Structure 1
Amino acid sequence: MGRSKLEKFATIAERDNVVQDGNEKYGQLKGKWRSEQFGNNNPIVLEIGCGRGEYTVGMARLHPEKNYIGVDIKGNRIWKGSTLAVEEGLENVAFLRTFIETITDHFAEGEIDEIWITFPDPRPKDRDIKRRLTSPRFQELYSYLLKHDGIIHLKTDNGPLFDYTLEVLQERKIKHLVSTHDLYNSDLQEHTMGIYTTYEKRYLAEGIAIKYLQYKPVKES
């Protein structure tokens, strides 16, 4: 492991805006993120597989009236978003370093108001279908996390993943689904707040259309 990566790990281990295994808040905030992490009662928006946290931080800049949490397992990536939040004094941003599969260990049912899934790994091989972040097993987790009428968003450059996700949603109880295979030539751009990740800029420069959808899971009574 390179020195730079070790230094980043050491830095985020000491930061209040990063919750990870080894610090006192890890596993202790379930149902208490608003009161104990943010000190307010504002809505919580989750970014799944946040990478460098560009979307998490970008949304937090635009909406100080909401709390934003980026979730990823890669500490060197989280370091970037965490650093931006510290440098800009954004107190409505936090990062949770954990595997997405364990996310219900860290949030109570209905604790989340909104979920973003931004440019996830498409996992194209058939043996990896269950690992796709829009697969049925993950949809179950998201439905548990979201409050009634909570919204899920997906942005991706990958057509097969997007079409797969639409097929998954057709088999689930959802409402208010809107989608487009070409976000920036559609009337749905306003929903993405003009935030572009590094990868997204690269895809657009290469002429790759960005796909987008949003919907509301139907919560079982």
Structure 2
Amino acid sequence: MMQQPTLSHQKTRAFQPHKLSAPRDFIVPTIINEIEDNVPLLLEIGAGKGKHALSFATQNPGKQLIAIERTRNKFEAFAKLATQQNVDNLNAIHADAIAWIVHAIAPRSIAKIFILYPNPEQHNPNQQWLNMPFFEFLLSRLKVGGEVVLATNIEAYMDNAAQQASAVWCLPNIRHHVPIDSERTHFEVKYLARGETCWELTMRKPEGYKTRFDDWHASNVKDKI
């Protein structure tokens, strides 16, 4: 029998999803409840103007991508392009990602999560994704074997993320340099053109992984497991 991992994050302050209200005008996308079991569902947090989301969805027609952006002007540019390109396996969402995920995403339903070039929060490190109690909830929405892909051009951010992934979240992870010809996001293009080094951290959810939210659902979320 496989031994379950020791999860040091169980000793951290717990996220409290029940205290979050649903975003304004919240509607669960139809695809979440109607997606077929053999179609992977992916999530991008902080999609910006949608460069990665549009490219990924176009290149991966057999996968469904939900891409969330909070900033209005960026989202409006993203939504306009998504409408023009008519990519039917992409859902562009204008919302705060944390509240939206709490109210829309079921446990163990996401195959991969992209967090590409997030705000480094250098003056408020508690708001960095892997330092937040919400990260445990996010992992509960990930399928076994699913991945979280984080990219940044801030070495200190990556150092902390890699340390947290191993020591706090007990996730197998691989860190590497982003290729200099990569063009996933507008930020990535800009940083690499300036000769900066960009890093990527890929974290995998192992078999037997447990969180405190594996059975937690918002009232409107349907669990297909």
Where do 5+ consecutive residues of structure 2 fail to align? 1-22, 212-225
Distance 2:54 2:81 in 1: 7
> 1:27, CA displacement in angstroms?
4.3
Q: 1: CA distance between counterparts of 2:121 and 2:152?
A: 13
1:155 is aligned with what amino acid?
A: A
- Tell me if 1:72 matches 2:69: yes
SS in 2 for 1:94: strand
Which of 133, 137, 149 matches 1:137? 133
In the TM superposition, residue 33 of structure 1 has moved relative to its aligned partner by 3.4
Residue 81 in 1 paired to residue 78 in 2?
Answer: yes
- 1: distance between equivalents of 2:174 and 2:129? 19
Matched residue type, 2:147:
I
Q: Distance in 2 between matches of 1:95 and 1:135?
A: 26
- 1:23-38 alignment to 2 at 5 Å? 26-29=26-29, 33-36=31-34
Aligned runs of 1:1-221 on 2, under 5 Å?
21-22=24-25, 26-29=26-29, 33-36=31-34, 40-41=36-37, 42-102=39-99, 103-125=101-123, 128-171=124-167, 172-175=169-172, 177-180=173-176, 182-184=177-179, 194-218=182-206, 219-220=209-210
Give the drift of 1:50.
1.2
- Residues 99/78 of structure 1: CA separation in 2 closer, same or farther (3 Å cut): same
Q: Which has the higher helix share?
A: 1
Matched letter for residue 121 of structure 2: R
Aligned-partner SS, 1:114: strand
Summarize the Cα distance change of 1:28–1:63 in structure 2 as closer, same or farther, 3 Å threshold: closer
Once the two structures are superposed, residues 147-183 of structure 1 have per-residue CA deviations (whole angstroms, 9 ceiling, x without a partner) of 11111101111111111101111212212x1112x32
Could you say what secondary structure the match of 2:134 adopts?
Answer: helix
**Count of matched residue positions in the alignment of Structure 1 and Structure 2:** 184
Give the secondary-structure state (helix, strand or coil) at the position aligned to 1:90: coil
Equivalent pair of 2:130/2:165 in contact (CA under 8 Å): no
Inter-partner Cα distance in structure 1 for 2:160 and 2:62: 34
For the aligned residues, what is the CA RMSD? Answer: 2.1
Q: Deviations over 1:164-221 (max 9, x none)?
A: 101111212212x1112x3227xxx9xxxx5421111111111101101101134218
Task: Specify which structure has the bigger relative contact order, considering alpha-carbon pairs within 8 angstroms and separated by 6 or more residues.
Answer: 2
How high is the TM-score relative to the length of structure 1? Answer: 0.75
Contact 1:69–1:96 under 8 Å retained in 2: yes
Residue by residue over 1:105-126, the C-alpha shift from the partner in whole angstroms, topping out at 9 and shown as x without a partner, is 221111211100000000011x
Gaps of 5+ in 1: 1-19
Deviations 1:90-134 (CA, angstroms, capped at 9, x unpaired): 011112222233121221111211100000000011xx2221123
The separation in 1 between residues aligned to 2:198 and 2:98, in whole angstroms, is 26
1:8 is matched with none
Instruction: Return the TM-score normalized by structure 2.
Output: 0.74
Identity of aligned pairs, percent? 21
1:204–1:210 contact (8 Å) kept in structure 2: yes
> 1:3-26, CA deviations, whole angstroms, 9 ceiling, x for partnerless residues?
xxxxxxxxxxxxxxxxx732xxx2
